Amino acid sequence: MAQQGFTSAKKWPQIFYGWYIVAAAFVVMMVSSGFGFYNLGVYLNAFVEERAFPVGVTSGATATFFLASGFAGLAVGRFIENYDLRWSVVIGAAISGVTLYAAPLVDTLWELYAFHILFGIGYAACALLPCTTIVTRWFDKQRPVALSVASTGLSVGGVLLTPLSVFMIDAWGMNGAGPVLGLCFFLGVAPIAVVVFRSSPEALGLCPDGYDFIGPRQEGPRTVSGVPYDAAVRSRFFTFMTAAFFFAFMAQVGVLAHHFRLITLRTDNTETASLLVAVLAATSIVGRLAGGQFLSHISSRTFVLVLTGTQSLSLLMFAFSESALSLTIATVIFGATVGNLLMMQPLLVAEKFGLVAYGRIFSANNFLTMFGVASGPAAMGMLYSSFGGYGPAYVAMAGASAIAFVFYSMSDRSYFAFK
């Protein structure tokens, strides 16, 4: 459908408007992750402390967030193919904001699960899926760099906004902080999406990457090329790539959920653990930005194989490291893979299948890999309890990353390639 807006090329002739899209996507993902994804453990801990919910039962609530997000993403992918993408972001921000605003009303276990389900639905509609979709539409040759910059907002949100949330919850409790966090979520996402986002460069008379000006805005739907949805999801590449990211994210998210506790147990120092959590976030940011540059010289396929192999080696280091130094080295190596793997998922879908059904294809891929994301923390906890320590758990997650390497190597018949 036709997009309404202003011809920004006349207003800012020095900068391609796509980079304003990237900046807006950065902010939207920063706010949604800082008050959403990275805050899940903070919210859960607050509910346990303030409502006296049993830890064993409430831990499943986080999994329902991921599952709800995955299911909702299927509908979001179809929606943003046919309607103005901004509506999805605004509706998702409203659902997330209202859910947080209503946090003081959560008193029973079913209400806790409803909180996480609604929050997951809102997050799916306004965060990673729409933001990566719009950046993908605006860029072609510069897509890796654009996605690396935009998705860095995810890590920045965890560094800047999650500590702010902890401060507010410690000071006011969930009853006082919830409404404020809900307002911050909505106001930090919806206005910038409405003002800046435009669903395609053609809507402003531009071409991807800003190389050419093609005249007046299109008044009809955008014509794009690519593989149809039904053919894409039945392809060899989709099957093996999805399986690879299932295991890669299971290992990654499981380790992230237990990273602080591992460092605390191995060093007997919570300050060291807090510092290494910050180091992990920082290396994730630096690694992602560097990854966007590397992709101009190395194929996406080779890069993913390097990332999954490196993640496996870093988790083996965690399994056997006891000193603060060796744990720091493992944290830095692991952190460099974290942000890049998340960036590569939408980039691979766009590269392989084009844009004609990108939203639906990526949402299907994200839905299936979400089961790996949801199972990672629980698998780590079960392994820790079964073996009485984190060593075997981290070896198992290193194995999951190695499986991801094998599956991705089977996604097509070419191997390593440089540009």
Distance CA 182, CA 128 (A): 19
Letter for the amino acid at 26? Answer: F
pLDDT of residue 82: 86
Number of domains in the chain: 2
pLDDT of residue 224: 61
Tokens of 289: 């930005």
Same domain (yes/no): 147, 251: no
Residue 3 in any domain: the answer is: no
Reported as a pLDDT band with limits 50, 70 and 90, residue 317 is very high
Residue 91 in any domain: the answer is: yes
Question: What average pLDDT is seen over the chain?
Answer: 86
Same domain (yes/no): 193, 261: no
Q: Does residue 91 carry a pLDDT above 80?
A: yes
Beta bridge partners of residue 418, listed in sequence order? 298
Dmax (CA) for the chain in angstroms is: 66
Distance CA 20, CA 339 (A): 22
141: Cα separation from own chain's centroid: 22
Residue 220 in any domain: the answer is: no
pLDDT of residue 184: 96
pLDDT of residue 212: 55
Q: What is the CATH number of the domain that holds 316?
A: 1.20.1250.20
pLDDT of residue 298: 86
Work out whether the CA dihedral 50, 54, 59, 64 comes out positive or negative: negative
Residue 75 in any domain: the answer is: yes
pLDDT of residue 17: 92
Question: What is residue 83's DSSP assignment?
Answer: S
Residue 221 in any domain: the answer is: no
Same domain (yes/no): 198, 246: no
Which of 210, 241, 271 marks a domain boundary?
A: 210
Same domain (yes/no): 188, 318: no
Reported as a pLDDT band with limits 50, 70 and 90, residue 419 is very low
Residue 219 in any domain: the answer is: no
Domain, as residue range, for 64 = 8-210
Letter for the amino acid at 341? Answer: L
Same domain (yes/no): 349, 295: yes
Residue 217 in any domain: the answer is: no
Determine which of 2-16, 71-85, 98-112, 392-406 has the lowest per-residue pLDDT on average: 2-16
| Each residue's pLDDT tens digit, 21-33 | 999 999 999 999 8
| Each residue's pLDDT tens digit, 199-245 | 888 888 888 887 655 444 444 444 566 789 899 999 999 999 999 99
pLDDT of residue 87: 95
| 13 CB burial (10 A radius; 0-12, 13-18, 19+) | exposed
Same domain (yes/no): 44, 171: yes
Helix axes 40-51, 109-126, angle to 10 degrees: 160
For residues 3 and 198, is the Cβ–Cβ distance under 8 A? yes
Of the spans 182-191, 229-238, 286-295, 377-386, which averages the highest pLDDT? 182-191
Residue 218 in any domain: the answer is: no
Which of 176, 210, 244 marks a domain boundary?
A: 210
pLDDT of residue 30: 94
Reported as a pLDDT band with limits 50, 70 and 90, residue 59 is low
Same domain (yes/no): 94, 198: yes
The structure's pTM equals 0.79
Which of 154, 183, 210 marks a domain boundary?
A: 210
Of the spans 40-49, 156-165, 235-244, which averages the highest pLDDT? 235-244
Q: Does residue 11 carry a pLDDT above 60?
A: no
Task: Tell me the CB-side half-sphere exposure of residue 111, using CA atoms within 13 A.
Answer: 12
| Each residue's pLDDT tens digit, 102-143 | 999 998 889 999 999 999 999 999 998 999 999 999 998 888
Same domain (yes/no): 190, 252: no
Average pLDDT over every residue of 356-373: 88
pLDDT of residue 12: 45
